[in-house]
Structure 1
Amino acid sequence: MRIELVKGVNLNIIPSKQFKTTRIFISFIKNIELKKELAERALLANYLEMCSQNYPTQIDIARKLSQMYGASFGSSVDRRGNYQLINFSIDYIESKYLAGNEDLLSEVIEFLKEIIFNPLRVGENKNFDEETFTRQKNNTITYLKSIKEDKQAYAAAKLRKLYFDNEIQQVPSFGESEDVEKLTISDVMDAYQKMLNTDRVEVMISGDVNTDEVVNKFSVLPFKVRNISRASMSYTQEIKQEIVTQIDEEPLSQSKFDMAFRLPVVYRGDLHYAALVFNSLFGGSALSLLFTVVREKMSMAYYANSNFDPFRQLLVVQTGISYTNKDKVQELILEQLERLRKGDFEDELLEQNKNNLISSYISRLDSQTSALLRAQSAALTGINVTVEEWLDNLQSVTKDDVMKVAKMVELQATYMLGTN
C-alpha cells in the first residue's frame, strides 16, 4: 500500500507476519546535479547518524536504542542511476513479543523524528557541532582514502572514470576525498536544508503492522510539501567510437584487469529479464562461462565475474590475473561473449542459470531487507512486479533472447593495475 503523506512524501506499507521485527527505511532522494553534492550528502548522513539535540553523543544514541529492546539504527548513501539516496534505517522487535505489549512504533518514530529533524546544533548561529562535524569529516576522508588499499575496489573506481563521460557518474555514491576535504559546516548545513525541504521522500515499513495506525503515527513527522522534478533516474550515454584503455603499474601479487561494456537494456523493459540471464551465463554466477572457462578450465584468473547495472546500462567484468596474461584473458573473455552472441551454449546450461536465478530470488523472499528494497525500487521506478510475474518473466527467457542481449554488448573501456 502506498499513501501520500504530503506532496512529495510517500509512505509505503508492506504488511507481513513473516518476521518478528519491524523494519523502516526513510529515503531522501535527489537528482544529483553537481559532483560535490555527493560528498556533502554523504558527510551529512554520517553527521545525522552520530548525534542529535537530545542525543548529543554516540553513547546517548546507543543507550536509547538499548532502551528500545536493542533496536538497530544506521544511515547510508546509495546510488540509482542519476539519483543519490540518503537512507535512514531502523529495525526493532514486534511489540507483541514483549512482556508488556509496549508501543514501540510510536517510540521508534519519535526517535527517527529526533534524528532527522532535530540535529545537534550549538552556539548563537545554531550551526552543527564543530567537534562532531570535524571528527566525521576526518573519518569520511580516511575511509575514502583507504579504498586505494582495496585493489579490487580501486580498479573498479578507475574503470568507472574511464567509462563514464559524466563526472558525477565517475564518482562513487559517497563522493571523493578531495571534495570532502573542502567541505565546511555551512556547506553541509545547506545540504541538510535542501534535503529536508526539497528531496523526494519514500518511507518504507515492513512488519506485522496495522495500516491505519501506521499512517496516523507517521503523519506526525513534520515533512513539508515539496515540488518534485521528474528527472530520469536512468543514466545513458553515447557509445564511444574507440575503446579507452589505461594501465597503471603497481607491484601486486595479483594484478587487476577490468572491462566496461555498454549494455543498453532498460530496467524492467522488454529485455530486462533476458539481461539478467545473460549476465548469469556470462560471469554473474558459478555456472557462468567466465567462471567455468576462464577461471576453472583455462586457469587464467584467480577470479572472474560480471555485474550489470540497469540504471546506468553498464556491464562490468572484474578479474584477478597474472600481469603477463592480460591479452590472453581479454581474448578469452571476448570469446565467451561471442559464444553467447552465437548461441554456442547448451540448453541445459541456460536452464541451470535460470534455475539458479530463481532459487536466489526465492531465497531473498525470506529477507525483510530485500522486501523493502524491492518496494523501494518499485516506488522509484513506478513499476511494481509481483513475485509470480517476476518468476514467469524470468522463466520465459529463451536462447534467442540471450543472444539478442549479447549482441547489444559493446566494449568501451579496460583498466589494468599491476606490474610484470
Structure 2
Amino acid sequence: MTRIVEKRIDGQGYHLHMIPSEKYKTNTLVIKFRAPITREAITNRALLPYVLQQATTKYPTARSLRTALDELYGAVLSVDASKKGEHHVVTFRMEIANDALISKQTNLLKEGVRMLHEIIFQPKVDNGGMDEAIIEREKQTLKQKIRALRDDKMSYANTRLLDEMCADEPYRLHVHGYEEDLPHVNGRSLYEYYQSMLEQDILDIYLLGDFDEQEVQTLVQSCFARKSRAATQYDLDVKKKAPSEPKEIIERQNVQQGKLHLGYRTNILFGDEDYYALQVFNGLFGGFPSSKLFMNVREKHSLAYYAASRFESHKGLLLVFSGIDPKDYQQAHDIILKQMEAMKRGQFTTEQLEETKNLIVNQLLETIDHQHGLIEVLYHQVLSDVDTTPEQTIEQIKKVTTDEVVQVANKIALDTTYFLTSEEGEDANA
C-alpha cells in the first residue's frame, strides 16, 4: 500500500490535518466540530448541519447555493451528525475537482474552501435568527428520519438496547435527537446554539489530495481562525463495568420477527494495547459470514434470519444482533452465549484466525482506499488522542495471536439482553 503521510498543524482555534496524495481526481475537505453528547444539545446538533447547507448570506436559497457548487465544476457537499463514543460530531464534507486535471486556469481548492467557510460561518440570518422556513422544512425531514428509525425494528431494537444498557450514560442519547424537542426549536434558539458551537467545539479540518501545503495553511488560517474557548481535549468517563447480574428486557409489539440483541462490555477502547486483538475477536465471533454467530445461530441451527456482531471503538461495547422467530428465543439466546464461551476457551482454529486477520486487513485497505474512509480512520486517532498510522494498525492486526484473542474474550462481560417479540409470543423465560 502507498504510505500515508498526515501533517498536523495546530492553528488559531482549529487543528489542520493535511494528507498529500496524487492518487485521486478530487481534493476532499472535511470539517469536524466535536463536543460531548448532552441531552440539551443533541436535537439542535442533529438539525443544524442540514439547515446550514440550505442557504447562506451570499446564496440565500437552496437553488442559488447548488448553482454555485455546480459552477465549481460540480463540487459535492454533504453533511451529517454522528455519535462516536460519547462525542457528538458534526461533519461538513466537500469534494472539489483537482485543478491539475482541468484545462482552464483555476483555483478550485481556494474557491471550495471559501465556499465551505461561507456555508459554515455565514448562514442566512434574519432578525437575529436563522431562516424559519428552512428550519421548518428541516424539522419535518428530521422528524421523518426519527420515525423511520422507530419503524425499522432492527434499528429500534438496537436503540432500545442502548437505552437500557447505558441508561445513566450519555451514550444512550439518540444521534438524531428527539421528536418532542422539535416544536421548541426556532430560528432564534437554533442560531444561539449555533454560535455557542462555533465558539466552544473542538474543530478539526482535513484536506486530502493534491495541493500546495503552504497555500493551504494560509487559506485555512484566513477562513477558519477563530477566537475559540474550546479545550484542546476533554475527559469522558466512557468505560463502565457490566453488572454482576445481566439485565434482561422483553418488549412486545405487533411484529412477526423477533429481534434478539445482546450488549456486552469489552473494557477495551481504541488505542488500548489489546484493541487489535478485539478486532480479530469480533471477526471470529460475529463480524463476517464465516464467524461463529453466522455459522452456528443462522446456518447450523437455522434459528436466525441474520446474526452478527459489531463493536463500538470509543465506548467499549460489543453488540450482537439477531432476527429470530419469537418462539426460538431461549434456544437462540443459549447458542449465542455458547459461542461467546467457545471464544473464551479458544475454540477456533489457526486457519480461522489467519483467515479473519486477512479479512480485517482487506476491509481496512478497502476503507482507506476511499478519501472519506481514510479521513474517518485518521479521525479515530484524534478522538482517542493516540498516534497510530493505518500501516501500523495493519501490522499489529497481523501479529495478533490465539492467546491474545482468548485474553480479550475473557475481558468481555454480558451487560444486557433485549428481546423485541410479538404480542402473542411465548414468554421468553418459558
TM-score scaled by length of structure 2? 0.93
Partner of 2:181: 179
Contact 1:82 1:232 in 2 (8 A): no
Which deviates further from its counterpart, 380-389 or 320-329? 380-389
1:227-306 matches, cutoff 5 A: 227-229=229-231, 230-233=233-236, 235-306=238-309
Contact 2:80 2:91 in 1 (8 A): yes
Is 2:14 the partner of 1:12?
no
Which string of whole-angstrom CA distances, capped at 9 and with x for unpartnered residues, describes residues 297-347 of structure 1? 111111000011121111100001100001101100010000010011111
CA distance in 2, matches of 1:178, 1:242: 34
Q: 5+ residue gaps in structure 1?
A: none
Contact 1:74 1:89 in 2 (8 A): yes
Contact 1:80 1:234 in 2 (8 A): no
Amino acid corresponding to residue 26 of structure 1 in structure 2? I
1:344-359 matches, cutoff 5 A: 344-359=347-362
Count the aligned residue pairs.
416
- Residue 252 of structure 1 and its aligned partner are, at CA, apart by 2.4
- Residue 372 of structure 1 and its aligned partner are, at CA, apart by 1.1
Distance 1:199 1:380, change over 3 A: same
Distance 1:222 1:292, change over 3 A: closer
Partner of 1:155: 157
- Residue 354 of structure 1 and its aligned partner are, at CA, apart by 0.8
- Residue 371 of structure 1 and its aligned partner are, at CA, apart by 1.5
Contact 1:36 1:175 in 2 (8 A): no
CA distance in 1, matches of 2:84, 2:247: 25
SS at match of 1:312: coil
Partner of 2:141: 139
Partner of 2:397: 394
Amino acid corresponding to residue 29 of structure 2 in structure 1? I
CA distance in 2, matches of 1:65, 1:85: 24
Partner of 2:4: none
CA distance in 2, matches of 1:391, 1:347: 18
Q: 5+ residue gaps in structure 2?
A: 1-6, 426-430
1:329-340 matches, cutoff 5 A: 329-340=332-343
The alignment's C-alpha RMSD in Å is 1.5
Which string of whole-angstrom CA distances, capped at 9 and with x for unpartnered residues, describes residues 331-380 of structure 1? 00010000010011111111111111111112223211111112222233
Partner of 2:27: 22
Partner of 2:428: none
Contact 2:46 2:176 in 1 (8 A): yes
CA distance in 2, matches of 1:181, 1:303: 38
Contact 1:35 1:167 in 2 (8 A): no
Is 2:347 the partner of 1:341?
no
- Residue 234 of structure 1 and its aligned partner are, at CA, apart by 6.0
Which deviates further from its counterpart, 223-232 or 16-25? 223-232
Partner of 1:201: 203
Identity of aligned residues (%): 28
CA distance in 2, matches of 1:377, 1:70: 29
- Residue 222 of structure 1 and its aligned partner are, at CA, apart by 4.6
Amino acid corresponding to residue 52 of structure 2 in structure 1? L
- Residue 238 of structure 1 and its aligned partner are, at CA, apart by 3.4
CA distance in 2, matches of 1:149, 1:174: 14
CA distance in 2, matches of 1:165, 1:65: 43
Partner of 1:104: 108
SS at match of 2:197: helix
Contact 2:128 2:188 in 1 (8 A): no
TM-score scaled by length of structure 1? 0.96
- Residue 167 of structure 1 and its aligned partner are, at CA, apart by 5.1
Distance 1:134 1:167, change over 3 A: farther
Which deviates further from its counterpart, 291-300 or 385-394? 385-394
Is 2:8 the partner of 1:2?
yes
Is 2:90 the partner of 1:86?
yes
CA distance in 2, matches of 1:314, 1:186: 38
Contact 1:80 1:233 in 2 (8 A): no
Contact 1:36 1:179 in 2 (8 A): no
- Residue 223 of structure 1 and its aligned partner are, at CA, apart by 2.9
Distance 1:222 1:343, change over 3 A: closer
Contact 2:241 2:265 in 1 (8 A): no
Distance 1:319 1:176, change over 3 A: same
Partner of 2:3: none
- Residue 56 of structure 1 and its aligned partner are, at CA, apart by 1.7
CA distance in 1, matches of 2:83, 2:143: 19
- Residue 216 of structure 1 and its aligned partner are, at CA, apart by 1.2
Distance 1:409 1:222, change over 3 A: closer
CA distance in 1, matches of 2:382, 2:316: 20
CA distance in 2, matches of 1:53, 1:228: 26
Distance 1:222 1:269, change over 3 A: closer
